[in-house]
Structure 1
Amino acid sequence: MQLYSMPSSGNSLKVRILLALTGKPVQIIDCDYGSAALAQAKADGVLPYGKVPALVLDDGQLLAESNAILWYLGEDSAFVPADAVTRAQMLGWMFWEQYNHEPVIAVRQALVSYPHRVADATPERLADLLDRGHALLQVMEDRLAHHDWLAGDMVSLADICLYGYTCTAGSRGGFDMDRFPAVCRWLDRIAAMPGVLDA
């Protein structure tokens, strides 16, 4: 398999983490913003929606969207709960990540990290994203204050999915992670899993 991945992207990171945790062999092709590799990937038609991550399977079929790739790679693994209700709860967190968490947590990180986004980083927008992001992190805190994992009693795709941008929420996004001790303990649990920090 080949994974087209942006090194600084949380959406790419979570796919790399699951690949590391499952031990699936893959060739990773780094596609930084504005790079020749990204332009070539678009020209070659291997990015179905024009963005990374994208996974090219051994038979040449293409998969896009990070959470869809997670679902494919996680199928029949311990990262997908066997119980139907817990599995649906896991999917709920994954949908919430893309619809609520990522558009705030990841966007604020992008605005303060990428030079090409600086024009959009107005003080008003950054302040709004900060407030909204803290409210979203509180949703996670409320769950993780009483549970080790987001869905069920074991690590699942939901945890890998939410780790992608939460792990850099403080360092890149400026969110006050001291307000969320349970989230920080959860981040440490995931980071301690074999291969995660090297992904």
Structure 2
Amino acid sequence: MEGKWTELPGTVALLLLISPGIAWASYTSAPAPPAAIACSFYSGRSCEECLKNVSCFWCITNNTCLDYPVRNIFPPSSLCAMSAARWGACWINFEALIITISVIVGLLILSITVCCCYCCYCRKRSNSLMRMEAEEENLIRERERRKQEALQRKNERTVKHNEIRKKYGLLQDMDHPYSRYENE
């Protein structure tokens, strides 16, 4: 029996899981009929009496209460047309019940998918923003480091040039600004 459950499409399986809940919600405070009473016993009575037993379904066209064909998932049209069949609740036909549950399940799946995609998009965007901020900080640090290195190299070059000028007598004494005019 478990193999049959795994072979069912998701919507139908959900329908089979949700439908007893709908039947239970429409269940009145009257005690359930004994299991020994067949569904045909309720034929010609009312839909409510028939649907108290969840293994039965009601056919409006001929006011009969029939055993639900568990092996077929959906009642065949030879028993009762889907638009005339009632199962779980008398106020909604089986066809509308299937369509409603399918639409609800489809909307749930769609909304969950959209939420997941939106969350992934937001996470990706925040991660990329954080990554961009980190890269920007790294670029600023790298720029400052390069400026410091360039300034250090410039100072080293100036010292070397001054040593060469001093060696060849080209470096004037910086202590006395007018020494240049005295030698002329």
Between 1 and 2, higher relative CO (CA 8 Å, sep ≥ 6) is seen in 1
Shorter-chain TM-score bucket reads: under 0.3
TM-score computed with the length of structure 2 as normaliser: 0.25
- Please identify the structure whose Cα radius of gyration is greater: 2
TM-score computed with the length of structure 1 as normaliser: 0.23
